Amino acid sequence: MERRSRARVAVIGAGPAGLCAARHILSRPETFDPPVVYEMTDHFGGTWFYEEQVGPHDNVYPIHSSMYRDLRTNLPKEVMMFPEFPFDDHLPSFMHHTSVQLYLEKYCERHDITRHIKFNTAVEKVKPVSMETKTGGAVTWEVISHRTCGDRNTQTFDSVFVCNGHYSDPHLPYIPGIEHFEGKVLHSHSYRYPEPFANKSVVVLGARASGVDISIELAQVNARVILSHSTPTMSLPLPLGIQQATSVVGVSENGSLQFQDGSVTRADILLFCTGYNFNFPFLCPSELGLDIQALFVTPLYKYLLPPGFPSMFFIGICKIICPFIHFDCQVQFALAVLDGTVKLPTQAEMEKEVQREMQKKLDAGVQVKHLLHLDKDQWDYYLDLARVARFTPPQPVFRSLYEEVGRQRKKDPQKYRQINYRLIDATQWELSEASPEK
């Protein structure tokens, strides 16, 4: 910030997080140059750009999105929106995914973002480059990218926003004896629609959002579904055709699946709905002082920045959140760090704070793979970011509606999406009439 009057920011990825970063950077032309948004595909939207294809895309870039054909959102539009940019009134609360992509198109138009996106340009390497200095000085970042046509390019920035998403690289827990399984093995990343599963026996591993939703889709085409997860005793009210079972612990030599409670079954298909790995192939973790594991990244101060490199920001690393609201708060905090509004503690103090927070969670019995899950803690987190960075925090109504939807989902994972809501004001919501999606 000392070297130039305006800071140059690179944004990696044009999904919702990257678009949100671009929107806020563009709104402060006195402080920031227009961002360079790198996007490896030929479109924006990230997860919300549905592609039926599952293999490599013309051998040009891997399929990024894990979206399936009939997906309806699992959050209502009233809490899915970016604050101050509501979805269209005519939409039902739980929309088809195409409505979210349309919403992002409008967001880009409203904030004139698209012309700042370098499509078909994958970031290949991001390197901190030390500048001078005797006083500790600032770091600049070298971003090396390549276009699908093969051209390589290097540009230098004052800050990098990492917005490459984390629902793309399948996480496949090892199952002893899996090589004996004679059926088909798939991950939800490659699931698009249920028809090919009709009348088949399918064991679905994992009962988070995708595991439950996909099981319901499969049951509708008469697949015989066993939903295997760690807490089948807390049975979810699921439709006929879905049986719940304990975790799969192995595959025997004759190809049958063995469950934790000792039962066994044969199946045509084993479908892993076991989540996704963090993957930042363009970073060198040790150079940044980061430990990047499949399901965990640390230390990130405020779940956002490596303490040794406070001009790099990881937007949207956390899980079990309201993503768009979350991105909006994190981006505003990050920009307040860059413009000097937020005075960060020293590197050692930030590292200590992260360590303390993580240890507190571990002591409370949280597994390492869940350390970045926020859920009910997200609201205090947003208040904290807003207080320190001096922006308006999300209205309390978002929290109260998010919690209500959580209760309804638990009560009936099949029907909760039939309910429609309406925000009344900053603190209240009400039920509303259903309106058919156009």
- For ligand FAD, the binding residues (CB under 6 A) are 12-18, 38-41, 46-48, 64, 66-67, 71, 73-75, 80, 122-123, 163-165, 167, 210, 282, 316, 323
Cα 141 to its chain centre, rounded Å, is: 24
**Nearer Cβ to ligand FAD (95/139):** 95
**Nearer Cβ to ligand FAD (257/317):** 317
Q: In the bound complex, what is the minimum distance in angstroms from residue 307's beta carbon to ligand FAD?
A: 22
Q: In the bound complex, what is the minimum distance in angstroms from residue 266's beta carbon to ligand FAD?
A: 28
Q: In the bound complex, what is the minimum distance in angstroms from residue 330's beta carbon to ligand FAD?
A: 10
Phi, psi (degrees; rounded to nearest 5) at 251? -125, 130
Eight-class DSSP state of 32: B
**Nearer Cβ to ligand FAD (46/128):** 46
Q: In the bound complex, what is the minimum distance in angstroms from residue 423's beta carbon to ligand FAD?
A: 16
Instruction: Determine contact, residues 247/259, Cβ cutoff 8 Å.
Output: yes
**Nearer Cβ to ligand FAD (50/201):** 50
Tokens, residue 303: 């779940």
Q: In the bound complex, what is the minimum distance in angstroms from residue 36's beta carbon to ligand FAD?
A: 11
Label residue 79 exposed, middle or buried (CB < 10 Å: 0-12, 13-18, 19+). buried
Q: In the bound complex, what is the minimum distance in angstroms from residue 391's beta carbon to ligand FAD?
A: 20
Q: Give 36's contacts (C-beta < 8 A, 6+ positions apart).
A: 8, 9, 10, 11, 116, 118, 143, 155, 157
**Nearer Cβ to ligand FAD (125/180):** 125
Tell me which H or E stretch contains 288: helix 285-288
Q: In the bound complex, what is the minimum distance in angstroms from residue 322's beta carbon to ligand FAD?
A: 7
d(CA 333, CA 385) in angstroms, rounded, equals 6
**Nearer Cβ to ligand FAD (6/208):** 208
User: Bridge-partner residues for 125, per DSSP?
Assistant: 144
Instruction: Select from 341, 437, 340 the least CA-distant residue to 387.
Output: 341
**Nearer Cβ to ligand FAD (115/356):** 115
d(CA 110, CA 106) in angstroms, rounded, equals 6
Residue found under tokens 């768009």 = 324
Tokens, residue 333: 């905090």
